[in-house]
Amino acid sequence: MGAWESAAAPSGPVGDPAPVPSADLHVHASMRAEEAGAVAEALRRLHHQGLQRLWVYAHVVALDAADYQDRLARLPVPALRHYNGPGVDDSVEAATRFLASVSDGPEIDVVPQVDDLHGAVRERLDDVLCAGVVAVKIVHDLDLVDQEQAVLESDHAGLLGRLADDGVPAIVHLDLRRSEAWVRRVLADLPRLRLTIAHLGYSRSRMGPMLDEFQNVVGDIANLALHIEAKPDSYRAFLDRYAGRIVFGSDAFLGNLSAVEGHGRAVAGLGLSDHARNALLHSDWYPEDGR
């Protein structure tokens, strides 16, 4: 095989755009301090391939070591369990400090992430919100958080009310099979809330009607690449139907950004309508109100 053939072989059909999105609005801050150089390099490479904007979710208050370990063990993302022990700090401060040091990468916003709003988190969140944020990520998941359901529901509803008043979008990780009634009550009370339901709420059959009813709701495809590839026909129909109402998210983490391209590939390979494909991969980064 000549040099020309081997150089040409690994890429896709001629004319296919690289499956890197313009924006990835669901990335986690987890990384090890010693990976900083490699992460900065990966961000530069993705930027050169077309990635213009990232939202990086970071804890408002760093979890203590035991809590952090416990949380990692429960996560449905095995690769993230690597991010334990010394040298790991995915707090807002650590992420902001590191990302400010990255040159020639995409535009990056650090998005504060909260779950249980206990005292220290609530106080710190207040400072963070007052300083100005593009969005807030809320983990509304009883499997990951040791908190009573009623407390979590009322605390999170209160925070979403504040975000609606301030015009700050929220991304909520929840399972619609368990929390649909709660989120519907919140949306009925807060018509000005701009809400992203992460992972399509783990239920497209419940997500579709929510998108039909609430024009201020969007979904994201974070951590769904394998599902999309396993059920291309039903995902193609869903993503075509709700084009412009689904934003790109990968659930990648800074220490391993491969899911960005993985999700890009899953979307690009689906055979979506041009409108739906462009809305996911190449559109503005976040839908405007009422679009």
Which stretches of the chain bind Zn ion, using CB under 5 A?
251
Question: Which C-beta is closer to Zn ion: that of 44 or that of 82?
Answer: 82
Least Å distance, CB 7 to Zn ion, is: 36
Report, in Å, the least distance between residue 183 CB and Zn ion.
17
Closest of 133, 115, 80, 134 to residue 251, by C-alpha: 80
197, 183 contact by CB (below 8 A): yes
Q: Which is nearer to Zn ion, 35 or 251 (CB)?
A: 251
- Return the SS3 of 117: coil
Q: For residues 140 and 227, give the distance between their C-alpha atoms in angstroms, rounded to a whole number.
A: 22
116's CB contacts (< 8 A; 6+ apart) are 145, 146, 147, 152, 155
Shortest distance, position 11 Cβ to Zn ion, whole Å: 30
Q: Whole-number minimum distance, CB 68 to Zn ion, in Å?
A: 16
Q: Which helix (H) or strand (E) covers residue 280, if one does? A: helix 274-281
Output the residue with the shortest Cβ distance to Zn ion: 251
Taking the least distance from each CB to Zn ion, the nearer of 18 and 75 is 75
Residue 284: both structure tokens together: 């503005």
- Residue 237 to residues 11, 28, 177, 243, 275: CA-CA distances in angstroms? 27, 29, 21, 10, 13
Calculate the dihedral angle through the C-alpha atoms of 78, 113, 228, 254, rounding to the nearest 10 degrees. -60
Closer CB to Zn ion, 238 or 253, in the complex? 253
Q: Which residues pair with 57 in a beta bridge?
A: 28, 111
- Spatial strand order of the sheet with 107-114 comes to 246-247, 217-220, 195-197, 170-173, 136-139, 107-114, 53-59, 23-28, 252-253
CB of 255 to Zn ion, least distance (A): 14
Cβ proximity to Zn ion, 8 vs 226, nearer residue? 226
- Comparing CA positions, the residue from 124, 97, 100, 103 lying closest to residue 113 is 124
Pick the closer one to Zn ion by CB: 75 or 157.
75
Adjacent-strand bridge partners of 139: 173
Give least dist CB 91 to Zn ion, A. Answer: 16
Tally the residues of the chain.
291
CB nearer to Zn ion: pick between 30 and 288 = 30
Smallest gap from Cβ 113 to Zn ion, in A, equals 9
Residue 288 in tokens? 């405007």
Q: How far is the CB of 268 from Zn ion (least distance, A)?
A: 21
Closer Cβ to Zn ion, 115 or 251, answer by number:
251
Residue whose C-alpha is closest to residue 201's, from 184, 185, 188? 184
Residue 25 pairs in a beta bridge with none
